[in-house]
Amino acid sequence: MGVIVLLLIASIAVAALFLGGFIWSVKNGQYDDEFSPPVRILFDDKPSNDKSDK
């Protein structure tokens, strides 16, 4: 009985955590542009070629 209550609280807490994560990601604009992020991550940085030493 006590275990079930504990589990209940835990499960809702975890779910709420995900809900919070979801809301944060929407607010953060992660769904605004679905093209750039997956492409951006594949770009190599080649500082060796870079002459403008930025």
Partner 1 sequence: MSVEVKKQTTCYHCGEDCQEGKIVLEEKNFCCEGCKMVYQLLNEHGLCDYYDLNNNPGQSQRIAVRKDKFAFLEDPGIAQQLISFRNEEQTHITFYLPHIHCSSCLYLVENLHRIHPGIVRTTVNFTRKETDVIFNHKKISLREVAELLTSIGYEPYISLNNLKAKKPRLPRTMIYQLGVAGFCFANIMLMSFPEYLGLEEAEKNLQNAFRYLNLILSLPVLLFSAQPFYESAWKSLKHRFLNIDAPIVLAIWVTFFRSVFEVLTNTGSGYFDSFAGIVFFMLIGRVLQDKTYQQLSFERDYTSYFPIAVTVLKEEKEIPTALPDIKAGDTLMIHHEELVPADGILTRGKAFIDYSFVTGESLPVLKEVGEIIYAGGKQTGGNMELLVVKEVSQSYLTRLWNQQEKEVPEEKGVSFVHLLSRYFTYIVLTVAILTAVYWWVNDITRIWPAVTAILIIACPCALLLSNTFTNGNILRILGRNKLYLRNAQSIEEMAAIDHIVFDKTGTLTTTHRHDVVYEGESLHKSDLQAISALSSQSSHPLSKALVRHLGRNQLTVSAFEEQTGKGISGQINGESFALGSLPFITGKAAGAEGTRVYVSRNGSLLGHFSFRNHYRNEVNDLLNDLQSEYGLAVISGDNAAERQTLQHLAGKNTTLLFNQQPHDKLEYVRKMQSAGKKVMMVGDGLNDAIAMQESNMGIAIAEDTNSFTPASDGILESGALAKLHRFIRLAKANKQIVLASFVMSIAYNIVGLYFAVQGTLSPLIAAVLMPSSSISIILLTFGSSNLAARWLKL
- Site for partner 1, rule CB under 8 A: 1, 4-5, 8, 11-12, 15-16, 18-19, 22-23, 26-27, 31-36, 39-40, 43-44, 46, 49-52, 54
Distance of alpha carbon 10 from alpha carbon 38, whole angstroms: 33
Q: Minimum Å distance from CB 21 to partner 1?
A: 10
Per DSSP, 49 falls in state G
Q: Minimum Å distance from CB 29 to partner 1?
A: 8
CB proximity list for 30: less than 8 A, separation 6 or greater? 37
Quote the radius of gyration of the chain (alpha carbons, Å). Answer: 21
Q: Minimum Å distance from CB 10 to partner 1?
A: 12
